[in-house]
């Protein structure tokens, strides 16, 4: 039985509805799973007409939202509220085992804040919905996986936030993901440094010796294949040569910039009791509702959610809110 995969609408003022609809209608996606579109039904219908996509036979989990007026390309508190409510509804479907996994379309972090949500993004909102404190953000391509030690915060705050406990938590989450999802028996994980040249033996900063190295040695003492601190160029070089299974990056762009240059990646949230994936791009407001968006990154996110969720196929039929 093919798994149900919940697909959220994203910020409806951006390209979320377009990429979600096109990906859900993709032949390969339909061969691998049963998509469930999560969001206001009338927005899905408007987007389908605008993009020339058929909704015939589509599963829709309709969420109620008060009367609204959206302007394509212009996010607002209203669009942020719709995005957040769709995420919450999709997560609850997954927690209730009505769907096997969740794939989320891009949202606007500003619109989320304008709607009154204090969480800076999908990851933190989903962690709160699921009631977990230890969670992480992993980005995966065909051959490279990178987990971020710190996520959405100013660079000036990174050294203050980075602790040995935080790095240990991210290494452990990454180990579990590699073992449980990818079947890697003894994961080889490289931990990047914070400073240039991984601190150059303390010359360029103390964080490698005081914070990062103790976390690495903790796992090495238990026989785990964890190495570091590594310079970024060394770490990405090793993983490209298949010498490592994953990297731990200290901050957002340290991990994402090389990955995006090398090719598109999929975002996976670690530590949740549900499976959640998403594409690695934003709302692309400049081309919203113009039928120009590339749906392939969203398709890849859905396919990965389907592959990971196939082991969690629900035995109960999906029932949409509108009864269809």
List pLDDT tens digits, range 54-86: 887 789 999 987 777 889 999 999 999 999 999
| Domain 1-132+274-324, CATH number (from 3.40.718.10, 3.30.420.40, 3.40.190.10, 3.40.50.720) | 3.40.718.10
Of 30, 21, 110, the residue nearest 60 (C-alpha): 21
Of the candidates 99, 65, 71, 97, the residue with the CA atom closest to the CA atom of residue 83:
65
**Backbone angle region of 205, left / alpha / beta, with phi > 0 → left and psi within -120 to 50 → alpha:** left
What's the token pair of residue 192? 């990047």
Q: And the tokens for 33? A: 């799973």
Q: Write out the residue limits of the CATH 3.40.718.10 domain(s) in the chain.
A: 1-132+274-324, 133-271
Is the pLDDT assigned to residue 137 strictly greater than 80?
yes
The fourth-level CATH superfamily of domain 133-271 is Isopropylmalate Dehydrogenase (3.40.718.10)
* CA dihedral (180, 183, 187, 188) positive or negative: negative
Is a pLDDT exceeding 90 seen at residue 310? no
- Does this model's pTM top 0.75? My answer is yes
Residue 137 main-chain phi, psi, to 5 deg: -115, 115
Say if residue 321's pLDDT is above 70: no
In this prediction, residues 120-140 reach a mean pLDDT of 92
């Amino acid at each position: 039985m093919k798994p149900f995969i919940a697909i959220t609408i994203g910020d409806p003022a951006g390209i979320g509805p377009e990429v979600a609809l096109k990906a859900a209608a993709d032949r390969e996606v339909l061969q691998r799973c049963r998509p469930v579109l999560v969001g206001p039904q009338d927005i899905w219908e408007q987007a389908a007409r605008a993009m020339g996509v058929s909704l015939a036979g589509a599963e829709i989990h309709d969420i109620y939202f008060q009367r609204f007026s959206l302007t394509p390309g212009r996010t607002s508190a209203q669009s942020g509220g719709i995005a957040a409510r769709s995420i919450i509804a999709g997560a609850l479907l997954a927690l209730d085992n009505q769907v096997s996994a969740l794939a989320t379309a891009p949202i606007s972090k500003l619109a989320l804040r304008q709607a009154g949500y204090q969480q800076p993004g999908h990851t933190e909102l989903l962690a709160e919905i699921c009631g977990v404190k230890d969670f992480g953000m992993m980005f995966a391509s065909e051959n490279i996986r990178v987990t971020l030690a710190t996520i959405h915060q100013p660079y000036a705050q990174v050294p203050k936030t980075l602790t040995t406990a935080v790095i240990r938590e991210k290494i452990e989450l990454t180990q579990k993901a590699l073992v449980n999802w990818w079947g890697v028996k003894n994961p080889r994980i490289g931990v990047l440094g914070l400073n240039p040249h991984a601190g150059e033996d303390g010359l360029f900063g103390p964080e490698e010796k005081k914070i990062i190295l103790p976390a690495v040695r903790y796992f090495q003492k238990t026989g785990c294949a964890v190495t570091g601190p590594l310079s970024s160029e060394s770490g990405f070089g090793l993983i490209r040569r298949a010498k490592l299974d994953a990297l731990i990056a200290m901050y957002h762009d340290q991990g994402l910039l090389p990955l995006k240059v090398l090719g598109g990646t999929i975002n996976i949230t670690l530590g949740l009791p549900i499976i959640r994936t998403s594409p690695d791009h934003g709302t692309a407001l400049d081309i919203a509702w113009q039928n120009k968006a590339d749906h392939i990154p969203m398709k890849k996110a859905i396919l990965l959610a389907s592959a990971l969720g196939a082991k969690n196929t629900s035995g109960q039929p999906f029932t949409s809110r509108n009864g269809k």
